[in-house]
Amino acid sequence: MKKIETKYLILGNSTAAISCVESIRSLDKEGSVSMVAAEKERAYSKPLISYLLCGSITPKQMYYRPRDFYENNRINALLGSEAMKIDAAHYMVTTATGEEITFERLLIATGGRPILPDIPGIRSEGVFTFFTWKDAENVRKFIQRRKVNHAVVVGGGLIGVKTLEALLKLGVKTDVVEKAPRILATILDDEAGRIVDKRLADDGVEIHCGTTVSKILAVDDLTYGVRLDNNREIECEMVVFAIGVRPDTRLAEEAGIKTGKGIIVSNRMETSFPGIYAAGDVTQSYDLTTGVARNIALFPSAYRQGKVAGINMAGGNMEYPGGIVMNSVSVCGLPIISVGDIQGEGMDTEIYSRLDEKSSIYKKVLVKNDRITGVLFVNQVDRVGIYTGMIKSGINVSEIRDMLLTEEFGVLTLPKEYRKYVISGVGIEI
C-alpha cells in the first residue's frame, strides 16, 4: 500500500473538481493538492460526447483545460485510479490502485453514474450507455464494425435526445423508447412536445412513449432487437440506454456522510463531516425557484459549487446562493431552452403563452406571486437571458406582465430598478 499525505484531496476530475482546484490555488499557492479520478482522460466536457461521436468536433476540442493544467497547478493527478473507500473518521481515502491517501480537506465530486436496468439480455453485445468519452468511442467502433443500420435509444431525456441526434447524423435509423408520455418530459409541456414530435417524425424518427424495454433480444449474446413491455418488438443491431443518471453517493453513504437525493451540503458546500465538502452532480443543493434542496445536475451549477467549495477549503468564506434548473438543447435543428419550473402546478400560477404553428415557435412564461418562476422557449430563444436574470433576482413583474411575450419586451420595458442590473451583465448570465 502506497501512502500519500496531502492537504487537499479531490475525488473527481470534471467541472466541479477543476473549479475547486482553481479556487484553492487562488488562495493557497503552496498547499499540496492530490486528485483521484476513475477516468484516465484529463478534464473534458461530457456534454460534447454526442458531437464527438458524429464527428462534429475533434478529440482535441473536447478538453476545456490545457494539457499542462495539472503541472501548472502542482496537482498530484492519479487519473485512472478510482477511489474505493472514504474513512471520514481518520481523514483517509484508499484507491483501487493501492494508494492510501490522508488529507486535511476533501472534495467529493464523483458526479453521477448512468442507470442500467436489470432485464434479460442487458449484457449482450451491442448494448451501451452513453455518459463518458469511452462510451462514445465504444459506440462509434461498434457502428463501424457491425455496420449498424438501426438503433434504439431507451430514454427520451437530454442524454437520449443528444444520442439520437448523433446517430441520425451518422445515418443510423433510430427509434426512441420513453416511459413518460412524451420525450424531454421534464423540460417540455404538451404544446412544446407536439412541436418536437413533429420535427422528429419529419426526420424519420419513431417515438414509442408510455412504454419501456423489458428484454434485449439476442442470439449468441449479439443484439438483434428489443421487446417492449407492451410486447411490441423492434429489430435493431444496437441499443443505447439513456434512462437517467443517479448521483454517485456510494462512497459518501459507506462513510456515514449524510445523503438524500445526493450528498447533503450546507451553503458552504460542506457535508455533515467537518472538512469534507461535495460539489457538482453528486450533491443535493438549494433550488432558487422551488426553495427546497434537490439534485441539479448542470454544468454551470457544478462549476459554481466547485468554486465555493474550493474557496472555503482554502480558508476563505463564500456561500452558494442556490441554483435554478436550466436546460438548453437542439432537437434536429430546433433550439429549446427551459428555465425554472415550466410545469406550473398550483392554482396561484399564472401562465402566459404564445404559439406560432407555422414557424414552430412557442413561448411560455410562468408567474407566481408577481415573480417569474419559469420560461420555456422553442425555436426562438433570444432574450431568454433577460427572463433568467429576472427569475434569479425575483423581480416584481406586476406592472409589465402584459408585455412579457410581446415583441416590445426587452431591457427598456423592465422595472427601472432592474435595468442597470441587467445592462451590467449580471442579470443575463445563464
pLDDT digits (tens, 9 = 90+) for 301-343: 999 999 999 999 999 999 998 888 888 888 988 999 999 888 7
Q: What is the mean pLDDT of residues 15-43?
A: 97
Cα distance between residue 87 and residue 399, in whole Å:
56
Q: What is the pLDDT of residue 307?
A: 98
Query: Has residue 405 got a pLDDT over 90?
Result: no
Q: What are phi and psi of 342, to 5 degrees?
A: -105, 0
Share the mean pLDDT of the chain: 91
Return the ∠ at Cα 393 (arms to 391 and 399), rounded to 5°: 75
Is residue 159 over pLDDT 60? yes
**Helix (H) or strand (E) run with residue 350 in it:** strand 349-356
DSSP string, 217-285: EEETTEEEEEEETTS-EEE-SEEEE-S-EEE--HHHHHHT--EESEEE--TT-B-SSTTEEE-STTEEE
pTM of the shown model: 0.89
- At 338 the three-state DSSP class reads strand
pLDDT (mean) for 87-109 = 97
Q: What is the pLDDT of residues 200-224, one digit of tens each?
A: 999 999 999 999 999 999 999 999 9
Please, are residues 418 and 372 in contact by the beta-carbon 8 Å criterion? no
Cα separation, 300 vs 215, whole angstroms: 37
Q: Give the model confidence (pLDDT) of 108-151 as tens digits.
A: 999 999 999 999 999 999 999 999 999 999 999 999 999 999 99
pLDDT band at 429 (very low <50, low <70, confident <90, very high): very low
Phi-psi region of 269 (alpha: psi -120 to 50; beta: other; left: phi over 0): left
Instruction: Label residue 416 by pLDDT band (50, 70, 90).
Output: low
Residue-level length of the chain: 430
Q: Which residue has the cell 434548473?
A: 325
The per-residue pLDDT for range 294-309, each reduced to its tens digit, is 787 788 899 999 999 9
Whether 27 has a pLDDT exceeding 90, the answer reads yes
Amino acid at 224: Y
pLDDT above 70 covers a percentage of the chain that reads 94
Determine contact, residues 339/172, Cβ cutoff 8 Å.
Answer: no
Going by C-alpha positions, the residue among 10, 338, 70 that lies closest to residue 196 is: 338
Does residue 257 register a pLDDT over 60? yes
Counting runs of H as helices and runs of E as strands, what totals does the chain give? 10, 26
**Quick one: pLDDT at residue 406?**
81
Grid cell at residue 365: 412564461
pLDDT at 427 > cutoff 70: no
**Which pLDDT belongs to residue 428?**
37
Between helix 416-423 and helix 384-393 the angle, nearest 10°, is 120
Relative to beta strand 262-264, strand 283-286 is parallel
pLDDT at residue 417 above 60?
no
pLDDT of 415 reads 60
**Closest C-alpha among 386, 354, 353, 349 to residue 371:** 349
Asked if residue 430 has pLDDT above 60, the reply is: no
Q: For 58-80, how does the pLDDT look when each residue is reduced to its tens digit (9 = 90+)? A: 999 999 999 999 999 999 999 99
Phi-psi region of 91 (alpha: psi -120 to 50; beta: other; left: phi over 0): left
Contact criterion met (CB below 8 Å) for 205 and 168 = yes
Query: pLDDT-based confidence at 421, cuts 50/70/90?
Result: very low
Supply the pLDDT for residue 113: 93
Pairing of strands 83-87, 92-95: antiparallel
**Among 377, 383, 385, which residue's Cα sits nearest to residue 355?**
377
Q: What is the mean pLDDT of residues 228-241?
A: 97
Q: What is the pLDDT of residue 275?
A: 97
